[in-house]
Structures are given as C-alpha cells and as structure tokens.
Amino acid sequence: MLRAVGAAAPTDSACRAHDPTPRERAKQRNVIDPLRVPALYTELFYGQPRDSLAAIPVDGMSFRRYKQFDDPDSGLSGFVLLDDASGHALILFKGMDRPFAEGDGWGGVLTDLGGVLAAKFGTGNGQLRRGDDAYTEALCDQAIKSIELVGYSMGSQIANFLALKYSAFAVVFGDMGLDSTLLKRHARGDLPSARARARGHIVSLSLNGDVVVKLFGVGEVVGTVVKLPGVLVGVLHQPEVYANAANTAIRDRDTHRDEAAGAPTRADAGAARPDPVVTHGNTDDSSGLAVDAHKSPFRH
C-alpha cells in the first residue's frame, strides 16, 4: 500500500497489512501540538509548488514526505511524514478532493462523495480498510519510532476509526465523526469506556458554522472537541480556514502565557480574543466544559 514519494508502485517491503504486534502498538504516541496540524496539512496538500522532498518545519520537528498512498477505487489518499531526528511520524488522511485544485478533477470529488454518503447511510466507507492497511504498514516500518494520525474532513472518519480500533492518537479537524456501527463494533461491549478512550486519544478541532460537517457528518464526534475562535461562513469547509483559526488560537495562547508569566505581551498580539473552548465528545455548546488555554489538553 505504501510507496516511496514519487514512485509509481508500492515499495518492496516486509511491512504489509497485518495485525499490529504489542511492540508496534507501543509506537503510538501523541507528540505534535494539535493547533499546528491544520497549517501543516494545508502546506502539505495546498502549499505553493516547490520541491516535493523539502521538509516542513513544525513544532520543533522537520517533517519530510517519507511515504505516500493512493487507492483510486476508494479515493483514499495521503502521506506518511517523518522527522528523521526523532523518528516521529504523522500519517495524514486527505479530505475530499476539490474539483478545481486536484489533478483528478470531478472524478475524485464524485468518488469521495460516494464514500461519504455510503458511510452516512450505513453501507460503509471503502476507504477505511485501505486506510487500515496503510497504517499497519507504517507501524512496522523500522525507521518509524513513534506515530500519530491526522485526518481532515473525510479523512477524519479514517483517523477516528483507527484511533478507536488500535487506541492510537489522532488530531482531526472538519470532523465528520464516526458512524455508530463502527463505534459499537470496537467498543467491545463497553460503550462508556470506548467513548472515554476516544476522548483521551483524539483531539477534534472545530469551527462554528461549518455547514458541510452538519450536512455530511457520518456520526458521533468521539474525540475531545476544541472549538477554535471565529465562525466559518457558508460552505467554506476548507483547511486554510481552519489553519487561520488555529494560528489565531496559537497567538492567543502564547499571549495568555506571557500575561500569566508577567512578561510583556507581543506588540502584534492585538486585542484579546477568547481562548479555544474544550468540550468532551459532543459539539453541543451546552454540554461542553470550557477550559482556559493553559489548562487545556493541547499537547505542546
């Protein structure tokens, strides 16, 4: 399933889809600051054209495009990024194609839309199995010492599924949730414990007003929801919008820390904005628990 970046065929490797060993499962760690993820995703898939082998600096690490995966039949697409210094990897599951930004044009969009509707109406998302294959291959790769999942929009379904199935760690945004059939299947008869495990392993970045999530969400949002500042207008369900909101939250968090430490705030911080709001497993504002940024579950 996985292939070297730019290669036409999968890499010849001993790692193939399999049930992960205990040693491989121990690689699953939460390392990256979730608020850095939307900008990383946007740079990876929609940044200015440049050397595809150039590293992307994030959160004190330098991620290079290590492996990639594509399955035209299901529409699955993504990358494995690797920080060589630490051996930490991110496996990113791409969201729905955009007709005027993707080489596949409307064909990829229609394939992805079919997968969304299949998941929404209970007939299954064909990307899940192939995403599982890609993840378990990455887990056994000797160069990868630790790994976590990233999913945007349609890719959030895959990240949610794998996080629940393997107790992996994930950051998702534009979160489509997890359909009830999969949640029950991997709860192993204990839904409350499964939901608690998901909240401890998945961070879901959310923006008010995301109509696409409301219309096409496939099920329950199972992670810890972090509401980003601002409101998404209309159908602008785009990673760039999430990246801008997350970058605003980072600046506000840093300003909050400076103020708490008694240090001068940065001149460019501007007027104070609300901290991101953290809720647990539900996007309903009334049920959420608001937490100050310095007490939030952000990993940094």
DSSP states along 251-278? HHHHHHHHHHHTPPPPGGG-S--PPPEE
Tally Cβ neighbours within 10 Å of residue 227: 22
Domain tally for the chain? 1
Does residue 28 belong to any structural domain of this protein?
Answer: yes
Q: How far is the C-alpha of 281 from the C-alpha of 284, rounded, in Å?
A: 9
Would residue 178 count as lying in a domain?
yes
pLDDT in tens, the chain (300 residues): 898 887 777 766 678 889 999 999 999 999 999 999 999 999 998 887 656 778 999 999 999 999 999 988 888 999 999 999 999 999 999 987 655 555 545 455 545 555 555 555 554 577 899 999 999 999 999 999 999 999 999 899 999 999 999 999 999 999 999 988 889 999 989 999 999 999 999 999 999 989 888 888 888 999 999 999 988 765 678 899 999 999 999 999 999 888 888 766 544 544 444 556 666 555 443 333 333 333 455 555
Question: Are 174 and 204 spatial neighbours (Cβ–Cβ below 8 Å)?
Answer: no
Amino acid 288: pLDDT: 37
pLDDT reported for residue 75 = 83
Beta strands in 72-208 (DSSP E): 76-83, 88-93, 146-152, 170-173, 202-208
Task: Report yes or no: 18 and 136 within 8 Å, Cβ to Cβ.
Answer: yes
- Residue 169 domain-assigned (yes or no): yes
Do the beta carbons of residue 139 and residue 16 sit within 8 Å? Answer: no
Whole-number Å distance between alpha carbons of 300 and 233: 29
HSE (CB half, 13 Å, CA atoms) of 230?
Answer: 18
Could you tell me if residue 188 is inside a domain?
A: yes
Residue 210, domain member (yes or no): yes
Query: In this structure, what token pair is assigned to residue 67?
Result: 């492996």
Strands 88-93 and 3-4: unpaired
The answer to whether residue 198 is domain-embedded is: yes
Cα–Cα distance between 193 and 187 in angstroms, integer?
A: 7
Q: What single DSSP character describes residue 119?
A: H
> Quick one: angle between helices 154-166 and 105-120, nearest 10?
50
Tell me, what's the pLDDT at 101? Answer: 52
Report which of 170, 166, 218, 164 is spatially closest to residue 196, judged by C-alpha positions: 164
Cα distance between residue 225 and residue 173, in whole Å = 9
- Residue 300 maps to a domain: no
- How far is the C-alpha of 4 from the C-alpha of 9, rounded, in Å? 8
34, 157, 170, 230 from 293: Cα distances, Å: 13, 26, 19, 16
Residue range(s) defining the domain that contains residue 66: 3-295
Residue 218: its pLDDT value, please? 87
Beta partners for residue 203, in sequence order: 171, 224
Residues 6+ apart with CB under 8 A from 86: 31, 61, 145, 146
The residue to which tokens 């082998």 are assigned: 53
Q: What residues are paired with 150 via a beta bridge?
A: 92, 171
